[in-house]
Amino acid sequence: MKRRIITAWILLGSAFSYLEGYPQNITQQQQAFQGIIGRTLADSKESWTKPVKAPAGAPNVLWILLDDVGFGATSTLGGVISTPTFDSLAHQGLTYTNFHTTAICAPTRSALLTGRNSHSVHMGGFAHVAMSAGFPGYDGRIPSDKGTVAEILRESGYNTFAVGKYGLTPDEDATDAGPFDRWPTGKGFDHFFGFLGSATDQYKPDLVEDNAHVQPDGRHLNEQITDKAISFIERQQKANSGKPFFLYYAPGATHSPHQVATEWSDLYKGKFDKGWDVFRDEVFKRQKQLGIIPANAVLPGRNSNIKAWNKLPEEERKLYARFMEVYAGYLSYTDHEVGRVINYLKASKQLENTLVFVIIGDNGASKEGTFSGTIDLPRGATNKLSQQEIIKHNLEASGEIGTPKSIQGNYPLGWAQALNTPFKQWKQDANSEGGTRNPLIVYYPKGIKDKGSIRSQYGHVIDLLPTTLEYTGIKAPEYIRGIKQDSIQGTSLVYSFDDAKAASQHRIQHYYIFGARSIYKDGWKAALSYHPDLLDLSNNKEGLPKNYVENVWELYNLNEDFNERIDLAKKNPAKLEELKALFEVQAKKFNLYPYITWDDVYHTRIHKNY
């Protein structure tokens, strides 16, 4: 008995020693007792942990992340799809045209929320069973030592809310039985309303509120998440807490299924009848006029696997134009719902003190609509049909495009390339700017001086967390709930807010998505495509590699050739070898090994219990 008591005192003493050394522990910011405990109250002195408060005057923070939007889609970046909310924010803020994502959704979101590279936080693939693997870079489980922006800000005196797409909860945990530590509320958000997966029906979403699945009310998901976001802030303000808030607004839009009321899609009737070739030319011209791209830029040729618009039969042109009308309406509607949040903040006199970041897409435009578009047939069904049978089905079901029946709705591949103007390739292609370059808007009335200007400094989604912390005056914590934190890997963009000519401080960045890869350093980029001949859809095996060779790398000088037109691999082999070696260094450092490919995914070689 005596030995047990001594052991207990040793453990207790160790605990108090631990608490004295660190400001936070698992009891949520409860500090070690600093008072005196005597035999009576008269002999004792109370000690209270002071409530944590955000820095004086700290702004509210709003992160907006859209899904599957190409660089040239919005009117903000020279596109023909009307996005007046984004236009207004850009005209009063800054537009970053050299900002990057990871090329696919879950890796982008994990990197964004943690300020660390996706493989470093175990999200090199997805949190889905079929696309995760039992390795540190791929198991789909963000560790507790990689704290999210929500955890940091909540520990620093903010209320934290998230609505829309989360996409980072392992499939095995995504039931009402939990565990809930990898749901949004387990990763720092006070409240969440949205869906946990990668995509969902916009009228019948797999909807979650906080830690339970709930029934959708039949309205479009965009409207529901916007109402909920506003209600979260309203409730906080009514409590007179004096706290700033952090809102992560991440609609499922514009990921498939593309579903939107006809009042929006009909706004674009006839607008795309000229087709994707004319679309690319017109957008490219406007981008030059707006100063978004260099005046001497050249538009890459249409991908050889995509037919010229004027070579298509008339019935196909009508079908494909309707796909695009629906997508355009969907994007404009999404801009409208974002505008409701902005207008609420303005009406409630909170917008002036709200730091807003808008990332227009978590990757490039989607290539998942195949050459002919998708409406209601799942991928497994289309794989059993010939190309002509798919087109015949789509023509027969064309009236369902955009409706609740369009449960797989997505545009054809030709529109994906057009939406990514001025770049090549598309979503999933970590080797290409078309897969990884997405615009960023920064808006803060109190702090942005050079309103309406463009920034060309190199940036990546891992940069938003350190940018937010620097601008709010919050230091990255050494510990969160007693767990020592890994270092943040992003680079703050604040240095460029007031200096358009400042040299880029984010100098090295790697990319890897299931075989496709690239490495950037100081304007040079080496890239390896996992499917150099694009997608071999002729045999209905979407995504499978064709003639894949790991040593066929390309080399680009983005300082002179921003949209990757001139391959310098043969002309400058020394630079290529230098960058390839750097990629291997990054791969070892940031958990990219083993290199898991789409071939491994499609042949179910991963996520096995041995």
DSSP SS3 for 274:
coil
Residue reference for tokens 């998708």? 374
Q: What phi-psi label fits residue 379: left (phi over 0), alpha (psi between -120 and 50 degrees) or beta?
A: alpha
- Give the pLDDT mean for 464-477: 97
- Per-residue pLDDT tens for 445-464? 999 999 999 999 999 999 99
- Give the pLDDT mean for 464-469: 98
pLDDT(479) > 70: yes
Cβ-contact 368, 258 below 8 angstroms: no
At 548 the pLDDT is 61
> For 8-17, 35-44, 244-253, 352-361, which range has the lowest pLDDT when averaged over its residues?
8-17
Question: Which segments of 474-572 does DSSP mark as H helices, in order?
Answer: none
Residues in a beta bridge with 518: 511, 527
Residue 179 CB coordination number (10 Å): 11
- Give the pLDDT mean for 410-417: 97
At 608 the pLDDT is 80
Question: Taking all residues of the chain, what is their mean pLDDT, rounded to a whole number?
Answer: 92
pLDDT(532) > 50: no
Q: Which amino acid is at 178?
A: G
At 448 the pLDDT is 95
pLDDT(581) > 80: yes
The pair of structure tokens assigned to 497 is 């807010």
Judging by DSSP bridges, how do beta strands 354-359 and 440-443 pair with one another? Answer: antiparallel
Residue reference for tokens 């802030």? 233
Residues in a beta bridge with 453: 94
> Distance between CA 154 and CA 161 in Å, rounded?
10
pLDDT(10) > 80: no
pLDDT band at 101; cut points 50, 70, 90: very high
Of residues 40 and 541, the one with the higher pLDDT is: 40
- Picking from 389, 478, 450, 361, the residue whose alpha carbon sits closest to that of residue 79 is 361
Q: What phi-psi label fits residue 143: left (phi over 0), alpha (psi between -120 and 50 degrees) or beta?
A: beta
- Tally: H helices and E strands in the chain: 15, 18
- Per-residue pLDDT tens for 47-88? 998 888 999 999 999 999 999 999 999 999 999 999 999 999
The DSSP symbol for 376 reads: S
- Give the pLDDT mean for 306-334: 98
Cis peptide before 422 (omega within 30 of 0): yes
- Give pTM, 2 decimals: 0.93
pLDDT band at 547; cut points 50, 70, 90: low
At 321 the pLDDT is 98
- Per-residue pLDDT tens for 395-408? 999 999 999 999 99
At 519 the pLDDT is 98
- Per-residue pLDDT tens for 206-219? 999 999 999 999 99
pLDDT(20) > 60: no
Cβ-contact 512, 497 below 8 angstroms: no
Judging by DSSP bridges, how do beta strands 483-484 and 479-480 pair with one another? Answer: antiparallel
pLDDT(383) > 80: no
Judging by DSSP bridges, how do beta strands 60-65 and 245-250 pair with one another? Answer: parallel
pLDDT(229) > 90: yes
Please state, for a pLDDT cut of 90, what percent of the chain lies above it: 85
Q: What are phi and psi of 128, to 5 degrees?
A: -80, 150
At 529 the pLDDT is 87
Residues in a beta bridge with 355: 61
The pair of structure tokens assigned to 204 is 């019948």
Q: Which amino acid is at 244?
A: P
Residue 340 CB coordination number (10 Å): 16
Please state, for a pLDDT cut of 70, what percent of the chain lies above it: 92
DSSP strands (E only) in 178-265: 191-195, 208-209, 212-213, 245-250
> Distance between CA 191 and CA 211 in Å, rounded?
9
- Per-residue pLDDT tens for 112-159? 999 999 999 999 999 999 999 999 999 999 999 999 999 999 999 999
- Picking from 388, 372, 371, 390, the residue whose alpha carbon sits closest to that of residue 380 is 390
pLDDT band at 551; cut points 50, 70, 90: confident
> Distance between CA 83 and CA 88 in Å, rounded?
9
